[in-house]
Structure 1
Amino acid sequence: MEKRTVDKTYVIKGKPETKWVLVDARGQNLGRLATQIARYLLGKHKPTFTPGVAMGDYVVVINAQQLDVTDKRLDSKFYYKHSNYPGGLKVVGMREQLNRHPDRVIRAAVWGMLPHNKLGRKLIKRLKIYAGSEHPHEAQKPEPVA
């Protein structure tokens, strides 16, 4: 009779190596951009990926104001928040949100693709989003990605 072997789960030892990555949002689709960012934050692009370990990279997003979104989506997508008081629901349309706070549009899309637990809250802090092309992270030497 043949003996079966089970592959062991790989767990990285020590502190994982992190880099800084620069992503340009100019002309990119929101969903595809958010997927790419979430992949870098989680570390799924690395061969040593381990679920449940914060081993992803820091991501700097520039030109968030020039995100490519269809007109239909701009008019039909809404962001909701509530103050926990009666009648405290606040609704903001995507068009208004992109004009006032373009970083919140990308952050909300990426947050939906990360785990909603301690790990996800740690990873979302590694995301730095800027409306223009200037950012204060030149000292970290972020590598641009395609």
Structure 2
Amino acid sequence: MSVLKRVQQWATFARIWHVYDAAWQNPFQSAELLKKYLMGMYKPIYHPSNDCGDHVIVINSAEIALPGDEWKKRVYFHHTGYPGGATWTLAWDLHSKDPTMVPAVYNSMDGNLKRRYTMERLHIFPDSNVPKDLMANVSNQIRQIRPMPKRLDHYPEQQVKEFPKVIDYPKDYVVR
């Protein structure tokens, strides 16, 4: 086997480390994207019974954005297995208790027999503080699904003043 083919084969079977910024991203759309990398679906050797997935580091999971009023209406069910052990938790309550818990990724792999072992390769952090030993492994960045909006106070003051105004309010204008 030539050296080139050996390197190509090694790259195909190696577990690559990816980083994904979840700030202002929809967790359901992100879950479908991350599933592709966690299960290795983008690799030419993928097969449902083959364990060829990669590691994914998700940063800023505390800043996810659910669409509409999903924070108030989405409910997660859990049962302990004992009589009377059923609980329903609202999405905002679940996220405020543990911002690293993103059930959408787990639920997107429904029917996968290796789901438990696949989820072990998902590393979620509530902010951008990731241990250096994990970041040393990262060799790829997964592009965000939608662009992150820029806040008005992050623009330079000169650029804000130069932006064309739709209306100029009078000096004595009062908002009621």
Question: TM exceeds 0.5?
Answer: yes
Distance in 2 between residues matched to 1:49 and 1:85, nearest whole Å: 39
Distance in 2 between residues matched to 1:86 and 1:56, nearest whole Å: 38
Instruction: Give how far 1:142 is off.
Output: 4.4
Would the aligned equivalents of 1:29 and 1:69 in 2 still touch at CA under 8 Å? yes
Deviates more, 1:109-118 or 1:120-129: 109-118
Q: Equivalences for 1:1-146 in 2 at 5 Å?
A: 16-104=13-101, 106=102, 108-116=103-111, 118-136=113-131, 137-146=134-143
Per-residue CA shift, 1:118-145, capped at 9, x if unaligned? 4111111111111111112123134212
Per-residue CA shift, 1:100-131, capped at 9, x if unaligned? 21221x2x111112254541111111111111
Q: How many residues align?
A: 131
Instruction: Give how far 1:16 is off.
Output: 2.3
Give identity over the alignment, percent. Answer: 27
Partner SS for 2:108: coil
Partner SS for 2:126: coil
Q: Which consecutive unaligned segments of at least 5 residues does structure 2 have? A: 1-8, 144-176
TM-score (norm 1): 0.81
Distance in 2 between residues matched to 1:66 and 1:142, nearest whole Å: 24
Per-residue CA shift, 1:68-106, capped at 9, x if unaligned? 1134211111111122222222221101111121221x2
Per-residue CA shift, 1:18-59, capped at 9, x if unaligned? 100000001111111001111101111122222211111101
For the pair shown, which has the larger CA radius of gyration, 1 or 2? 2
Deviates more, 1:112-121 or 1:74-83: 112-121
Distance in 1 between residues matched to 2:81 and 2:48, nearest whole Å: 34
Partner SS for 1:102: coil
Distance in 2 between residues matched to 1:122 and 1:115, nearest whole Å: 13
Partner SS for 2:13: coil
What amino acid does structure 1 have at the position aligned with 2:58?
A: V
Root-mean-square deviation (Å): 1.9
Q: 4+ residue stretches of structure 1 with deviation over 6 A?
A: none
Distance in 2 between residues matched to 1:36 and 1:17, nearest whole Å: 20
Deviates more, 1:57-66 or 1:67-76: 67-76
TM-score (norm 2): 0.68
What amino acid does structure 2 have at the position aligned with 1:130?
A: F
